[in-house]
Amino acid sequence: MAKREVEIVIISDVHLGTYGCHAKELLKYLKSIKPKMLILNGDIIDIWQFSKSYWPEAHMKVVRRIMKFITDGVPVYYLTGNHDEMLRKFADFDLGSFKLLNKLVLNIDGNKAWIFHGDVFDVTMQHSKWLAKLGAIGYDTLILLNSFTNWLLTAMGRQKMSFSAKIKARFKDAVKFINQFEQTAADLAVDKQYQYVICGHIHQAEIREIIATDKPGKVLYLNSGDWVESLTALEYNQGNWNIFKYNPEDFKKENEEDDDHTDTEDLDAKMDVNLLLERFRQEQS
């Protein structure tokens, strides 16, 4: 099957190493595209909740697929987030087509794009990191329960449901936080004279124009969503941004022979992800 060519692909909040991560679906998506540039906008590997007892093969295959893009010469930018903040000490690392950064400014067809994860706007992250980590564990448990519930609902022929979506809709503070997050990002982007501001962090895929509150000007705000619930990515082609939404029906013909030899290589011997992440955890404790 011919791969779909995409100029820029942005994904965030994959949370590899957690039960809620949809690694198999993400792998199918990554195998279906031929990007000219890939931007990983934070929380790709969840070092906060990492456990040596849980690192499925599907999660490793996502890492291998990303490595394949790098070896093929595709520019890959890894921007750090709060769940992989331990990598921030290595920011500005550059190896071939791979770059590890905290933020990125790109010139995209004459427009300046300001790209970063977005946890800098989260008051909980700034002042109560332990509370944020506790909330992350609770969120992961909620997603695990939600997955089991949806399995039962599917077996009974009923429609799936999202626990977190219902919680967000019920609590006005959650909606207020999202709106404030988006407005703050837009205001700063206008102040810096950027045309695009691109974030992750809040697991809410979005493309919309936002008018600044404190000065004349507007900016196109974009958020790539996540691969825990919404299964979304941002794609840029021929001057247009779109939100890609994973649909299982579109990937039913994935039984054709795969050209990704890295899936069968013994890359674990070259890069023991479990050992690497455990070392990060120990250094931070």
d(CA 59, CA 22): 9
Q: Which residue has the tokens 């029906």?
A: 249
d(CA 194, CA 204): 21
Phi, psi of 4 (to 5 degrees): -80, 125
Band the pLDDT of 98: cuts 50, 70, 90: very high
Band the pLDDT of 214: cuts 50, 70, 90: confident
219-246 pLDDT per residue, tens: 999 999 999 989 999 999 999 999 999 9
Q: Which residue has the tokens 């690192």?
A: 55
pTM, entire model: 0.77
DSSP 261-279: GGGTS-GGGT--HHHHHHH
Strands (E), the chain: 4-6, 8-11, 33-35, 38-41, 76-79, 93-95, 98-101, 103-108, 111-116, 196-199, 206-211, 218-223, 232-237, 240-245
Distance in Å from the first CA to the final CA of the chain? 47
122-143 burial, b for 16+ CB within 10 Å, e for fewer?
Answer: beebeeeeeebbeebeebbeeb
Band the pLDDT of 163: cuts 50, 70, 90: very low
- Domain layout of the chain by residue ranges: 4-118+161-284
Q: Is the domain 4-118+161-284 a CATH 3.60.21.10 member?
A: yes
Position 190 scores a pLDDT of: 92
d(CA 219, CA 187): 8
210 strand-pairing partners = 219
